[in-house]
Amino acid sequence: MTERPLKVLFLTAEAVPFAKVGGLADVAGSLPLALRSLGHDVRVMMPRYGTISGERFELVKIGERFPVPVGAGREHIHLMATTMGEDVPVYLLWNEHYFTSREKVYGFEDDAQRFTVFGRGVIEAIRLLDWQPDVIHANDWHTAVVPTWLDVSGWREPFFRDIATLFTIHNLAYQGITGRLILTFAQMEEVKHLSVEPPGAVNWMAQGIAHSDLINAVSERYAEEILTPEMGMGLEPLLEQRRDRLHGILNGLDYDEWNPVTDPNVPHNFDIHSLGRRAANRTALQQQARLPIRSDVPLLGMVTRLDHVKGMDLVAPTLNRLLQEQDVQCIILGTGDPRYHEALKALQERHSHQVRAFLKFDEVLARRIYASADMFLMPSLVEPCGLGQMIAMRYGCVPVVRETGGLADTVIDHRPGRGHGTGFVFEEKTPEGFLEALQRALETYEDRETWRAIQMRGMASDFSWTASAKAYVGLYRSALSLH
């Protein structure tokens, strides 16, 4: 018997191509399309920020503005619609004060209020659509008001009673903690205090976890890690209580978007059978980086946010030592915390013939690095899923990663004689640990045949969305039967 297609409402604060801050936007821009191609009626709802142009995205207004029960009950929202891909409907909630007058997704003092208005607005918008979802898939704390409201109040209304919920944790570091007055503002005073919440506070991430039928994190390893005091960010007791509802599904990579055969930003396109062409990309990159043009030296690459969790405190100390001992080149692209800008500038000054640090966000350069470097360094302390290592493997660039979260789930450590490695993995959060993995990689690099085999295994790995989308459908169906 074939199972019936599902109606899924996907809630997110950001989605490519409308607004992007981080990896969540990539997921929200790809997973709905993958679900659609499996035959499900998936629709996306997000706020309309000031940066989302009505003209560019051909936004169409649906119905009249509607009131949202928040504060004194005077907020109004307009619902706008467009599509993502060919036929995935996207609804944008337009409220001038909370969203459309703002040029950024996050980072305002009233973020907790803003996303509370979004959540309450979503509930009202669904009524307006005349389309009853089977499942609401909420993502991170910004959308947690919705499963919370459905669980606490929604059961009173037949229209909402049967809607199941899945809550995905993309990053536990951001939880949306705010004063309990937010519940008065949200007209949700029935919501109970949770023991993981500070006294007098609401933690929206915790509420989403407590009130959803099912919960998942963006890799299996991360789903295990967040149960520990070291990585649970204070929510591990709650997650432990809900352990039987907690799953892990690896994010996919958009294989059309990231394809070395067609990527227009890669000067010399290549595939698994023409890896030799990467050499020409590398020459071009060395030129751009004003490093000596050499084919006999291993080229290390990094593309990253410059943040503590990305392992940036390991990078300069490790590379300083490596560069003293070994003849390698290193190209780093990143932006973020000024501390690391300084550290990387100092590293570049000290090793000017070997290191080039580009301290900016540059999508084109990022692609050239993936297509040219021999190794891709990703020593993250925490990595819920991680895209960088998957992109690197797709582009024949061998990842050297720390064993955590999605890195542990996607990169197989090379061990001589085993013939299945796709990269180099280390566990210790120290420059020694990182250095050891880099040295193993550099030794292996000398053996051209083995190295080529590692590159090819990485390129042949399948991290496309198809498998992950099917896993999500499985979770939607179990959420429905558990509801």
Q: Which residue ranges make up the site for ligand ADP (CB under 6 A)?
A: 22-23, 303-305, 333-335, 361-363, 366, 386-388, 391
Q: State the Cα–Cα distance between residues 430 and 271, nearest whole angstrom.
A: 35
Long-range residue pairs from 243-247, CB within 8 A, at least 24 positions apart, any chain? 245/212, 245/213, 245/214, 245/215, 245/482, 246/215, 246/216, 246/217, 247/214, 247/215, 247/216, 247/217, 247/223, 247/475
Mapped onto helix, strand or coil, the DSSP state of residue 327 is: coil
Chain residue whose CB lies nearest ligand ADP: 23
CB of 155 to ligand ADP, least distance (A): 36
Q: Which is nearer to ligand ADP, 93 or 390 (CB)?
A: 390
Neighbour count for residue 178 (Cβ, 10 Å): 19
C-beta of 48: minimal distance to ligand ADP in Å?
23
Find the shortest distance in angstroms from Cβ 309 to ligand ADP: 8
Nearer to ligand ADP, 147 or 386 (CB): 386
Cβ proximity to ligand ADP: between 32 and 388 the closer is 388
Q: Which residues contact 191 (CB under 8 A, 6 or more apart)?
A: 148, 152, 183, 202, 207
Q: Pull the structure tokens for residue 329.
A: 């080149």
Between the CA atoms of 164, 170, 174 and 179, what dihedral angle is there, to the nearest 10 degrees?
Answer: 0
Cis peptide before 17 (omega within 30 of 0): yes
Tell me the two tokens of residue 170. Answer: 């993309």
Nearest-Å Rg of the Cα atoms of the chain is 23
CB of 337 to ligand ADP, least distance (A): 13
CB neighbours of 181 closer than 8 A, spacing ≥ 6? Answer: none
Instruction: Provide the residue type at 281 as one letter.
Output: N
Decide if 206 contacts 238 (C-beta within 8 A). yes
Residue 133 or 311: which CB sits closer to ligand ADP?
A: 311
In angstroms, what is the minimal distance from the CB of 343 to ligand ADP? 16
Min separation Cβ 389 and ligand ADP, Å: 7
Q: To the nearest whole angstrom, how small is the minimum distance from the Cβ of residue 135 to ligand ADP?
A: 25
In whole angstroms, how close is the CB of 341 to ligand ADP at the nearest point?
11
Q: Which is nearer to ligand ADP, 354 or 380 (CB)?
A: 380
Q: Which is nearer to ligand ADP, 33 or 382 (CB)?
A: 382
Minimum Å gap between C-beta 455 and ligand ADP is 19
Closer Cβ to ligand ADP, 384 or 421, answer by number:
384
Based on CB atoms, which residue is closest to ligand ADP, 164 or 371?
A: 371
- What are the distances in angstroms from CA 439 to CA 61, 96, 109, 435, 457? 58, 55, 46, 6, 21
* 387 or 479: CB nearest ligand ADP: 387
Adjacency order of strands within the sheet including 214-217 = 60-68, 75-84, 88-94, 41-47, 7-11, 135-139, 164-169, 214-217, 246-248
CB of residue 250 to ligand ADP, shortest distance in Å = 12
The C-alpha atoms of residue 338 and residue 335 are separated, in whole angstroms, by 8
Q: Where are the alpha helices (DSSP H) in 8-131?
A: 23-37, 111-129
Q: Between 77 and 365, whose beta carbon lies closer to ligand ADP?
A: 365
Give the count of beta carbons closer than 10 Å to the beta carbon of residue 273.
9
- At its nearest, how many Å lie between ligand ADP and the CB of residue 174? 12
Q: Are 283 and 290 in contact (CB under 8 A)?
A: no
Q: What is each CA distance from 202 to 105, 206, 208, in whole angstroms?
A: 21, 8, 11
* 269 or 335: CB nearest ligand ADP: 335
